[in-house]
Amino acid sequence: MTFPTHTASPTATPSPRLLADVGGTNARFALELAGGAIAHIHVLACAAYPTLAAALKAYLALPDVAAVAGPGIRHGAIAIANPVNGDFVKMTNHHWEFSIEALRLAVGFEVLVVANDFTALARSLPLLADDQKRQVGGGAAQAGAPLGLIGAGTGLGVSGLIPSAAGWTALLSEGGHVSFPPMNAAEVAILQYAWTEFQHVSAERLLSGVGIELIYRALAAGRGAREPALSAPEIARRALEGECPLCDEVIEHFCTMLGTIAGNLGVTLGATGGIYIGGGIVPRLGERFDRSGFRARFEEKGRFHDYLAAIPTYVITAEYPAFVGVSAILAEKLAA
């Protein structure tokens, strides 16, 4: 699948650079061309390839990519949904594992940078145009203040961007794995059900695609009803189309629970520059998310209600923002 050209930061690129955004389900690849234009975007299913190297080589062999890149690609950067500490990477939500250096040699690059996907996404935040984000609720961003980032998809990503005299520093966070904090009796019941499946229930266990399915099972069990097994996309579809009150209740719980975690991130980072919401789930919920209890729950912090009410929350609507962030990370590596 190919998408229209997007524009990244205006960094000169004398030869094409490879950019990738690898999640637990899909691997997205692109070329950054001269002038910073990002084009030749293709989305490959992770399950279709035994290794990341195989997927990367398959992308480079695509006719439109090969015609532009030829033998000229020397530099690449990959954002991946996983902690990146040292040379060896073993994905949490997929079976791929690899040595960064071995991967660099396998594809013949001079420089290959691998970063956490939410670190890369965080780096994109100051570069987003107004039409690439949508504000939900009130608040106004303070210039030069920390930014927070959270996003639900295959997992739950968390990061932040901290300003300094030298620029922005993206946090290497695994905040999606904090213990889930219930805020009312209904969420306690959901947590109690989740404990029957998992010894430790992290925020990610509930605020992700499989988390939506877990909330659905918990609510069905609480009703003593025998409901059909549904996938997260089907639950969301039925909720958005008004076909299933139970599915709509699942989505409402998901949104309000996300508000809790986003509010926790806001006070933890002092993110008065704003909290940004990425990932694959929330942008697809559209207006249903905007009218959910997310924002009210975000502000529901007792004595810190007014503090959080002043912090804006934004849904990232840009189609491929991680490419912009990982491009900036690669540019800094090459300039060092």
**Chain segment 46-105, per-residue pLDDT in tens:** 999 999 999 999 999 999 999 998 777 999 999 998 888 899 999 988 999 999 999 999
pLDDT at 5: 40
Q: Which residue has the higher pLDDT, 224 or 29?
A: 29
- Dump the DSSP string for 61-88: HSHHHHHHHTT---EEEEEESS---SSE
In contact, 69 and 29? CB cutoff 8 Å: no
φ/ψ of 295, rounded to 5, equals: -70, -40
83: exposed, middle or buried (Cβ count in 10 Å: 0-12, 13-18, 19+): middle
Per the annotation, binding residues are: 20-25
> What does the block give as tokens for 241?
């189309």
In this structure, how many other beta carbons lie within 10 angstroms of the beta carbon of residue 234?
17
What whole-number distance in Å separates Cα of residue 164 and Cα of residue 245?
48
Q: Quick one: how far is CA 289 from the chain centroid?
A: 16
Q: 49: phi > 0 → left, psi -120 to 50 → alpha, else beta; which?
A: beta
Per the annotation, binding residues for ATP are: 20-25
In contact, 251 and 212? CB cutoff 8 Å: yes
For the cut 80, the answer to whether the pLDDT of residue 9 exceeds it is no
For the cut 90, the answer to whether the pLDDT of residue 191 exceeds it is yes
In contact, 146 and 52? CB cutoff 8 Å: no
Q: Global pTM? A: 0.85
Distances (CA, A) of 173 to 85, 261, 298: 12, 14, 20
β-pair type (167-170, 275-278): unpaired
Calculate mean pLDDT across residues 16-36.
92
pLDDT at 291: 97
pLDDT at 13: 52
- Dump the DSSP string for 114-168: EEEHHHHHHHHGGG--GGGEEEESS--PPTT--EEEEEESSSEEEEEEEEETTEE
Domains of the chain: 6-122+320-335 (3.30.420.40), 129-317 (3.40.367.20)
Residue 229: band (very low, low, confident or very high) from pLDDT cuts 50, 70, 90: very high
What whole-number distance in Å separates Cα of residue 327 and Cα of residue 34?
12
Please name the residue that has the structure tokens 């959270």. 150
